[in-house]
Chain A
């Protein structure tokens, strides 16, 4: 078959025609609905971005808490409106900086947080009633939430004024990204604890950000990304409701979502519109929500990720800008724009600023925020949204046939599907079937970019170790032992909410590693299926 005879499809394989018009498209406006009205195809809010732009949230964190604190202050001074904490891997997986197995990783891909003392420095001079803070942390998310509550207390900010999001989505960690600790059952229980605690105590805090982003960067399609994310969301909501202490309307507003926007412009827009509508229908039809506000699909996204390439790296600036525009036309609530140099390095201050400027130009110069859902009613975009929703329903039914998301992950089924797509994508790029400018078309002879891996600051690590030793010697060992013992007995009883004890533990300056290990002793560790 010649190139021209192949069916033209989106990256997810949805067929697309050359022209959409009333001749081949039926628009059902009642099924689409107005912006801010069920089923929210056209966005969560009646006025779109007119009164409130999306949040510009740049992911940032490295080295020690003091260095990261300085970067946060810089970002806030330059118009950033939310913080996003990048924690190092030991913090995310529950090892202390002084654990001999993690020497190479302390402060490397994010900030090292061992105890509340580090969190105090991280937010020093940043009033927690004035910013919202997002944590890309999952296994240890409940501990990070406890840190935030404890820092807020020290700043005398009432807990109900705290705003932010913990990612707190363990299911996708088992599939991609990999910062799991305990097996699914107790991990989901701890997530339910945080959702319950936030619903009752911190009404403006998103207890979970169900994330498809990492499925996507592991290689899956846009449709799979959205469908697996919705299936994870179903798993968590079902688990909260199974506990029988809350109705859907009491916690649904604190469930949020997170995605990657990749390069297939209209498919990404359709993905967001279809996902928002599908979630609204699930909340109303599956769980019987009474309030429309429970049906809102509030989401953040990243523009960039695996769509960035090392050859001709400045092309990435253009890619990110288009992806950012697709995200906004899809109606996201917050966005992180990657820096163009990410394929080789942690971003510099300059490239981070440019990434933020990309969003600012989009918001203030292009006029896209002027009109709510400007693509609503487009024959093409509505058709693609319908086709995308159909795909979501199909993929979710397939996961259900495999016994639901937990089972499909434990069996390696989801991992297998994603590995297959990653393989196909790699082949499509290497064969030239998927054109990438500067990579397989319009290449130029250039020396390979001078990759700069963020150098691990050995002095920084030493400062962190000294600090940890200091905290350990200053705290009461008896208090730590007692609270960890209480935590363990509570962990053995599934109905007990662990959050109050976690706050107590961090306030006693128990370390992230100690808390994680105490729970590992009770719950065991996850065993990964290996699929490729």
Chain B
């Protein structure tokens, strides 16, 4: 369950780039919804600026990018920059998809909060997302 029981946290699941395979994005969106999050899914082929605009308008706590095309490093960097430019530094960013182990590290170094490569169970994705705020609470506490 998300930590804040009164007000569910809001998540934007997004598909940047041109890759249209969204089986994973939809499964994750549904898993997070079932876990108590309010989930918005952008649909496929979204431009970075449009994703960030939607994150702003929907006042989300987390953006989850699903990328299978291999373009994850470039796209994650663009989304991070765009979030920052729009004053959304506190919005968390996670990335899932076909991500090699070496790039998982690189994504975290860029400032991505968590990475869920192919093969991650939905249980682990939900636990990982829940944990993002737990860590913050621990840090804040």
A179 at the interface (CB under 8 A from B): yes
Report B67 CB to chain A, min CB distance, Å: 10
Give B26-54 as 1s and 0s: 1 = Cβ < 8 Å from A's Cβ atoms: 11011001000001011111010000000
Contacts of B99 in A (CB 8 A): 451, 453
Q: Is B100 an interface residue (CB 8 A)?
A: yes
Contact A528 B43 (CB under 8 A): yes
Q: In whole Å, how far is B39's beta carbon from the nearest beta carbon of chain A?
A: 8
The chain A residue with its CB closest to the CB of B42 is A530
Which parts of B69-112 form the interface with A (CB within 8 Å)?
69-71, 74-75, 98-103
Asked if B101 and A448 make an inter-chain contact with CB atoms under 8 angstroms apart, the answer reads yes
Interface centre among B27, B47, B74 (most CB of A within 10 A): B27
Do the beta carbons of B23 and A173 come within 8 Å of each other?
Answer: no
Cβ-neighbour of B70 out of A310, A430, A454 (below 8 A) = A454
In the complex, what distance in Å separates the CA atom of A177 from the CA atom of B19?
8
Assess A456 versus B20: contact at CB under 8 Å? Given A101-B47, A178-B45. Answer: no
Tell me if A501 counts as interface (CB < 8 A to partner B): no
**Complex alpha-carbon distance, A219 and B70, angstroms:** 22
Chain A hits for B17, CB < 8 A: 89, 104-105
Separation of A104 and B70 alpha carbons in the complex (Å): 9
Q: State how many angstroms separate the Cβ of B7 from the closest Cβ of chain A.
A: 22
Chain A residues with CB below 8 A from B22, complex form: 178, 218
Q: How many A-B residue pairs have CB under 8 A?
A: 108
Chain A 99-121 near chain B by CB (<8 Å), digits 1 or 0: 00111110011000000000000
Whether the Cβ atoms of B71 and A452 lie closer than 8 Å is no
**What residues of chain B lie closer than 8 Å to A448, measured between beta carbons?**
101, 117, 119
For B75, give its contact among A104, A430, A450 (CB under 8 Å): A104
B134 interfacial contact with A, CB 8 Å: no
B127 touches A (CB below 8 Å): no
Chain A residue nearest to B28 in the complex (CB): A532
Q: Kindly provide the distance from the CB of A101 to the nearest chain B CB, expressed in whole angstroms.
A: 6
Total interface residues on B, CB under 8 Å, equals: 38
Contact B27 A423, beta carbon cutoff 8 Å: yes
Q: Which residues of A contact B98 (CB under 8 A)?
A: 344, 451, 453
Complex Cα–Cα for A178 and B20 (A): 4
Give B138 Cβ to nearest chain A Cβ, in Å.
27
Q: A90-B18, A422-B27 are contacts. A343–B70 as well, Cβ < 8 Å?
A: no
Do the beta carbons of B117 and A451 come within 8 Å of each other? yes
Q: Which residue of A lies closest to B117 (CB)?
A: A451
B75 touches A532 (CB 8 A): no
> A128 at the A/B interface (Cβ < 8 Å)?
no
Instruction: Tell me if A212 counts as interface (CB < 8 A to partner B).
Output: no
Q: Closest approach, in angstroms, between the C-beta of B10 and any C-beta of chain A?
A: 15
**In the complex, what distance in Å separates the CA atom of A448 from the CA atom of B102?**
11
What's the nearest-Cβ distance from chain A to residue B103, in Å?
7
Cβ–Cβ < 8 Å partners of B103 in chain A: 451, 453
* Residues in B whose Cβ lies below 8 Å from that of A427: 122
Inter-chain contact A532/B41, CB cutoff 8 Å: yes
CB proximity to B under 8 Å, residues A305-351: 306, 309-311, 343-344
Inter-chain contact B21/A451, CB cutoff 8 Å:
no
Neighbouring A residues of B41 by C-beta, 8 Å: 530, 532
Contact B30 A105 (CB under 8 A): no
**Is the beta-carbon distance between A422 and B47 smaller than 8 angstroms?**
no
B70/A109 in contact, CB under 8 A: yes
Report if A217 contacts B (CB, 8 A). Answer: yes
- Hey, which chain A residues are within 8 Å of B20, CB to CB? 173, 176-179
A86 in the interface, Cβ–Cβ < 8 Å?
A: no
Q: Name the residue on B nearest A104 (C-beta).
A: B71
Q: Which residues of chain B come closer than 8 Å to A178, judged between CB atoms?
A: 19-22, 44-45
> What per-residue 1/0 map shows which CB atoms of A33-54 lie under 8 Å from chain B?
0000000000000000000000
Contact with A along B118-136 (1 / 0, CB 8 A): 1101110000000000000
A102 CA / B47 CA spacing, docked (Å): 10
Shortest C-beta distance, B126 to chain A (Å), equals 11
Q: A344 touching B118 by the CB < 8 A rule? A: yes
* Known pairs A178-B44, A451-B117; A105 contacts B18 (CB<8 A): yes
The reply to whether A430 and B69 contact each other, CB–CB distance below 8 Å, is no
Q: How far is the CA of A45 from the CA of B53 in the complex (A)?
A: 57
Q: Which residues of A contact B33 (CB under 8 A)?
A: 532
Distance in Å: Cβ of A307 to nearest Cβ of chain B: 13
Check if A247 is an interface residue, CB within 8 A of chain B: no
Interface residues of B (CB under 8 A from A): 13, 17-23, 25-27, 29-30, 33, 39, 41-45, 47, 69-71, 74-75, 98-103, 117-119, 121-123
Q: A451-B117, A453-B100 are in contact. List 15 more A-B contacts (CB 8 A).
A: A89-B69, A105-B19, A105-B69, A109-B19, A173-B20, A217-B21, A343-B119, A344-B98, A344-B100, A426-B27, A450-B101, A450-B102, A451-B99, A453-B103, A532-B33
> A-B pairs with the 7 shortest C-beta distances?
A178-B20, A451-B100, A89-B18, A104-B71, A532-B26, A453-B70, A530-B43
Q: List 21 A-B contacts (CB under 8 A).
A: A89-B19, A105-B17, A105-B69, A105-B71, A109-B70, A178-B20, A178-B22, A310-B118, A311-B119, A419-B30, A422-B26, A423-B27, A427-B122, A430-B121, A430-B122, A451-B98, A451-B100, A451-B101, A453-B100, A530-B43, A532-B41
